[in-house]
Amino acid sequence: MSATTNAVPSTAKFLRSPRTAVGRFVAKHTARSSLILGMILVFYMISKASTYLVAYPTEAARQKIAESLGTNVGIEALLGAAHHIDTVSGYVTWNFLCLITAVGAIWALLITTKTFRGEEDAGRWELFLAGQTTARRAASNALAGLASGLVIVYTICFLGLLGISRFNGAYFTLSACLFFALALTAGAAEFMAIGFLASQLMPTRSRAAGLSAVIFGVFYMIRLTADSTSAHWLLNVSPLGWIERLQPMYNSQPIWLLPIGGFVLVLSGLAIWLAGRRDLGDGIVADKDTAKPHTRFLRSPFGVALRLNRAVILGWLIAVISIAYIYGELTKSAAQIVQSTTVESVFSRLAQAAHTQAVLAFLGFTLFFIMLVVMFYVASAVGRMRDDEAKGYLDNFLVRPVSRNRWLLGRIFLMTTVVVIACLLGGLSTWAGEATQHGGVTFHTLLLAGVNIMAPVLLILGIGIFSFGVMPRLTSVITFAAIGWSFLITMLGSGVSLNHWLLDTSLFHHVALVPAVGANWTTSGILVVLGLIFGLIGVLRFNTRDLRGE
């Protein structure tokens, strides 16, 4: 009895120990984003599952959709190989697994590089190392804190799947829900380990995130190639392919958890070992000790912003061009999906039209996706601008004869220029990819489609500038929340009937999916004007408020 009594205080004492302070700090700061991600994923899963059950209530209807989509190479490249999609379990697995895995992987690599490399770059990591810990122990604690975020996402996904299993016509066993939730979060675990290792290798957060993103792109392209060609064996060499091999719900293969778990453990162990081998603030792949001075672009705040962000901007533009071209090439085969009742409902709500030509509808969806990518660039760019203020970099300009307006307007001009170029390149690259399939869509049509997606992106930019001026510490949260809320309401609206007032709060509800339908330039003009108003308020407020740190 006494041993049991003493064990509880000992455990509690260990959890409150200074040696676990890093883990508690990271867990606390990870919990919010984990909850948000988990809720978004659950809303998406419930929407898609309920739509399938309503649209295909009979076995005959499900068999018909399986015949339509099961052999579609373009769709399999996007969502993975289709298996047993004439059943509820097979359909939800096909719709959820690859997409949610990719979303979770991106979230994991961003939050991991921010936690490790970002905190170290900001000078906060040395405060932890000054306490009762070592570099390796602190790294292990931080990884445990991040893992607690994974547990939150896993739990929410499991509860969501359990809720779906209660729908009329759907039944998933408890063990199936547990295993499927594990498969959905496996990608996040893999790229948490990759981001952890990249943070030890690279000397800055941007390079660590860039390396992780490149690795994600390579693994994703291997998975896409395996599902869209006869080289299915490529799934065996990609960590993302291992997750697809798990085949939860319909033909579970838990043996593939072994390479996934081994991959995570080996990379995490190597990263912890490297954490004790390198100096604080440095990386295994170190910068050069000396370099020739280059003063190009250093004569103005705008030039400095361009120089510091050119690699990031180039990366985003390459991503837009690549995604647009690949989706353009998939247009002819992937357009068949629009003919299904479920997806036609989604497109009709997005495009504000009941019937559209399949090819044009898919191109409209492609430009919609490109718009999302450019919006994420804007949100990240506004966040980096806020970081310059929070970390004190802005002070170096304002102590010289540089006005606040000159600095801020220069950054806004740079972001606006990138938005215009990215949207135009998105339209042009989509046309180039589609032209290889001889779909017959003209260059002029897709150029106008690229122009059409500029307006909502500029509104997001205006909201970001407004947040920066009025509530600077919430800049990134508000900007990303505006995108996330709009996407969530649009996806839910495609599956269930929502009040029109609620739908109107979604920015995407007011976007015409050109070339699926004609452009509504009046609405686009209103969106641009709203963006200008929000941006102007943010600029004026920035000129009157105090500079604020973290």
Q: Which of 1-5, 255-259, 386-390 has the highest mean pLDDT?
A: 255-259
Helices (runs of H) and strands (runs of E) counted in the chain? 23, 0
Measured from the Cβ of residue 312, the count of other Cβ atoms closer than 10 Å reads 17
- Residue 71's pLDDT is 52
Structure tokens at 443: 């260059």
CA distances for 11 relative to 16, 20, 129, 164, angstroms: 9, 12, 23, 37
pLDDT in tens, 348-373: 444 444 444 667 777 887 888 889 88
Tell me: pLDDT of 1 over 50.
no
**Average per-residue pLDDT for the chain:** 80
pTM: 0.71
Structure tokens at 541: 């407020």
Measured from the Cβ of residue 233, the count of other Cβ atoms closer than 10 Å reads 9
Structure tokens at 34: 């984990």
Measured from the Cβ of residue 427, the count of other Cβ atoms closer than 10 Å reads 30
Structure tokens at 467: 């947040």
State whether residue 254 is helix, strand or coil. helix
CA atoms in the 13 A half-sphere facing the CB of 230:
0
Structure tokens at 148: 């607690």
Tell me: pLDDT of 346 over 60.
no
pLDDT in tens, 132-189: 778 888 888 889 999 999 999 999 999 988 888 887 767 788 888 899 999 999 999 9
Measured from the Cβ of residue 238, the count of other Cβ atoms closer than 10 Å reads 20
